[in-house]
Structures are given as C-alpha cells and as structure tokens.
Structure 1
C-alpha cells in the first residue's frame, strides 16, 4: 500500500483569481493529467501517481469546488458546470503542463470534464482514458428512461435541496464518517479498500467554507453535456476502462459507449467498482502505462 506520506507538499496554481490545488511527480517523459470524480480530489490518484511518474510527468488537479481547491459560492460568474471544469483543465494544461499535448485521464464526472476540455481545446490532448465515465442518468434528457419513481422523485429531491436550510441539513447528514463509509462500501466491490485513510481523505474538504454550496449546486445540475454528446466530437482517440461491479454506472450501458469510433478500446476491469484506479491500481496502472507507450 502506498502511504500518503510519500507525497511532497501540494502545489497551488491561481486560476481566475482562485487558488487551485494540484500535485505533480516525475521529471521526464510525456505529460499525463489526472482528473478526479465528484466529491473526490487528487488524493484519489495517490496509488497511481508514483507508478506513472516512473516514465511520465504526472499532474493531478483538484477541480474548482473540490479537494484543496477554492470553493467560491455559485454566482453569475461562477457556475459549477462541465464547461467551467473543462476550461479549468484546458487552462491548466496550457499554463502549467506546457505546450506539448498531454494524455488526460478521468474518473466518473472527471471523464465528462476531460472530454469537454478536449472538445473545447483540441490542442491540449494526445489521447484520453475514461474510467467508469459518468453516464449522467439523472440528466433531463435521460429521465424518461428511468422507472417512474426515479423519474419524478429526483426533481422533487432537487427542489427540496435547493431550499438552503434543507440542503445544508442534508449535506451535514451525509458529511459524516459513518455515512461516507457506507457510500464507499457501495461504490467499491472490495470492502478492504475502504480504509479510514480513504474516508478521511474524502471527509476533509467537506469541512471547508463553501463545500455545502458546491454540493447543492451540483446536485441541482441536470443539464449540460452527456457522454454521447461529447464522444462524437472528440478530436483525439480514447480508451475506456470500466469496473464491471459499478453499482452507479452500469457496465452494460457503459459498453454501449464503445460503439463510438473515437473509442479505440473498451477494457472491463472484472469485479471492481466505480473507482478502479483506487480499488485496483495493480490492474489499472499497467493498462495506462501500456496505452501511453503505444502512442510514443
């Protein structure tokens, strides 16, 4: 097991006046940029960074609103959308990573943010890898396919959470170690990976000022791009990795995304849940290393 103690102090990049937290390791080789999922941070790649850094310059960034990055209140200037995160990733690649196109890797909603960044700024990417891509099943355009109780229940919950006292109460109930552990035990097929360290890593940012507002802004977000909107527009090749035991993003639906010509390979990770990079790094790291090596 790789201890978090092996990492040096995190770095800060200022974006649109806000401090953005990121980690980097490796001094030679191609650049690879890692993008976390909802509620996570660059720490979710702690088991991947040292291995990938043996042959690459590795960067892992906290999206604005998450991890150690700033969490400004949602305003007319700051929207927590994939367009915002896509712009952040693209600017990071150009201002921090450098001019050479990078390999980009995302997990969950991080996959949508990666695709948005590459569609908006094709020059930043050589290729992308998508790990258990968010299917956005509660999106306005997808609700019609859901069971009736989810089709009507989700908008009602969103409206309730938009009432600030109710939303804050709900967040505070979720942001408890016992609840976070239960959620992780759903997401991870291997319960042994759900350690106190993992719970603490996900809990810490929830105490930051602004964390509640960011959470509620995203739970109310049921528009924006779907993976099937972005995949046909990709200007570079993609590979997909999918934990077959994912309870949130069904494997069978994920497989359908492999039909897009931009997806060059679809790789099942058997018996693994929603976050394969953390649950099964011994499987994911060699795949990412081989994917990069093939394109050099």
Structure 2
C-alpha cells in the first residue's frame, strides 16, 4: 500500500468499501476534507501543526489515491463522500463530533456532511468554496477543457489547464514535485467530477446551519470563490471570515502558518462556546 513517510496510513471498512485516511494527535477532533485532484497528502502542512492541540483526521475520499479505480464511477459523488465520512466518524467512535474543514470541492462535501449529520458537526470551516447555489443558473464547468484533454490521453496538459484555472496562470509549472505527483495520481477523478459539476447547494441547507461557521479565502484567490463567501455570509449572519495573506486558492500550502493559526483559533473558540452551552 503506498504511503507517505510522515503520514501514517490507516483504513477502515465501510459498507461501500475501504476508506483510507491518516490521523495524528489528541484532543478535539478536526476532520480535513480535500478538494479536486487531491487526497489526504494535501494536508501535509496542517496535520503535524494541528495535531499539537487536536486529533486530526484526514481521509482520502472514495475514488481517490491510494485506491483510485476506474473513472467515471458512481461512488465519486458529494453525497456518497459525505455519507462515507459520517460512517468514518461513527466507526472511530467520535461521539462528541468533529470540527469539519472542507477546501474547494471538499467544502461542498463538508456542507453535505453538516446537513446529513448535524449532531456530529461541531463547527464548519469552508475554504474557498466553489459550489453553485440553487437559485443561480447552471454554467459550463471551468474544467471542461481539462476533461476533454484527459479523455484524449494528454494528462499533463489537462492538469496544467485545471490547476492554472483555480490558482492563476503558470501555477502548474511552479508547483513542487510532491504536489504534481499527488495531482497526477488523482487525475482521472475529473472524469467522475464533471457529472456533478452543477450540483447545487440549497438555500435551506445553508440557513439550517447552527454550528459555528468560518469562511476562509486567499487574498489572491480568483474572484468566484469570494462571491461564494459573500453569499454565505449574507445567509448565515453568525459566520466568521478570514482572509489568508499572500495566498491564492491553495492557501493552506502557500501560507500554512496563517492558515493553521486561523483554523486553530476558530476550533478553540468553537470548543469553548460548545462547553459553555453544554
């Protein structure tokens, strides 16, 4: 089984199959949900830092490395991923719940988790969410060209197209080798993801949120991610908002210290508030 030298590998058997994850630390549990073309390795700069104060749990969503499988596949879907994570939390006996963190597409999985299992969601952090709201028109997915390139077998060009679209022109060529390896390992997941590209988040789903909510964005992120946060802040008055300096969409990688500090502060405050109301 492939692994990462600094991230111990674990797996758990769920009704839909094995789920792979890494974990570290003790304390309030934080569940990290990666986005497109990623897996639990994406959180390599978060796990050791957060584990100093918390129990950190980072899964690779079904259909991602180290068990990618053939794509497209029906199990690679927002609702399926959220259900897997609910079962993971139950399977690890985290009865007190988890502080849920979702990045990019992972933010929509996090929203689905909070809706599916509100009693398990102690707080919710959405980092550069990109989902569509139900009252907005459907759009052609920005990664349509990347999917076409993948279908033709031009994987490297497809990944450059995708990564540059979410983080800025020229990003792919500047990325370090471990990140490129991870993205290549998960390239074919886009063939599944394209089928739910316009899956909306309902306004009722957002308004029903009762847990503490943190909205995070990079100061240099594409504007479309900021509009999602603007709308969420309007719909959820109690939401907090943080912008991570000197970073774009991959804010947890480009400025991990600021990202980790903001997240830990939010988790600590949320935990203290929960204790006061218990």
Bin the TM-score by the shorter chain.
0.7 to 0.9
Provide the residue aligned with 1:115 in structure 2: 111
Provide the residue aligned with 2:260 in structure 1: 285
CA distance in 2, matches of 1:200, 1:264: 35
Matched pairs, number: 264
Map Cα deviations across residues 147-202 of structure 1 (whole Å, 9 max, x no partner): xxxx5x669x69xx7xxxx78634x32x22x6535643453469597212211121
Provide the residue aligned with 1:148 in structure 2: none
- The answer on whether the counterparts of 2:149 and 2:158 sit within 8 Å (CA) in structure 1 is no
Relative distance call for 1:256 and 1:223 in structure 2 (3 A) is: closer
Question: 1:222: how far off?
Answer: 4.0
Relative distance call for 1:195 and 1:154 in structure 2 (3 A) is: closer
Relative distance call for 1:183 and 1:225 in structure 2 (3 A) is: closer
Relative distance call for 1:126 and 1:205 in structure 2 (3 A) is: same
SS in structure 1 opposite 2:5? helix
CA distance in 2, matches of 1:227, 1:263: 18
Question: 1:52: how far off?
Answer: 0.2
Relative distance call for 1:57 and 1:109 in structure 2 (3 A) is: same
Question: 1:263: how far off?
Answer: 4.5
- Structure 2 residue 202 is matched with structure 1 residue 200: no
Question: 1:113: how far off?
Answer: 0.7
- The answer on whether the counterparts of 1:244 and 1:251 sit within 8 Å (CA) in structure 2 is no
CA distance in 2, matches of 1:117, 1:268: 24
What TM-score do the two structures reach when normalised by structure 1?
A: 0.78
Runs of 4+ in 1 over 4 A off after TM superposition: 72-75, 189-193
- Unmatched tracts of structure 1, length 5 or more: 145-150
**How much is the aligned-residue C-alpha RMSD, in angstroms?**
3.0
- Structure 2 residue 128 is matched with structure 1 residue 132: yes
CA distance in 1, matches of 2:61, 2:193: 13
Provide the residue aligned with 1:13 in structure 2: 12
CA distance in 2, matches of 1:179, 1:216: 11
Provide the residue aligned with 1:147 in structure 2: none
Show the 5 A alignment for 1:64-75: 64-69=62-67, 71=69
CA distance in 1, matches of 2:65, 2:132: 22
Show the 5 A alignment for 1:48-197: 48-69=46-67, 71=69, 78-96=74-92, 98-136=94-132, 142-143=136-137, 151=139, 169-170=151-152, 172-173=153-154, 175-176=155-156, 179-181=158-160, 183-188=162-167, 194-197=175-178
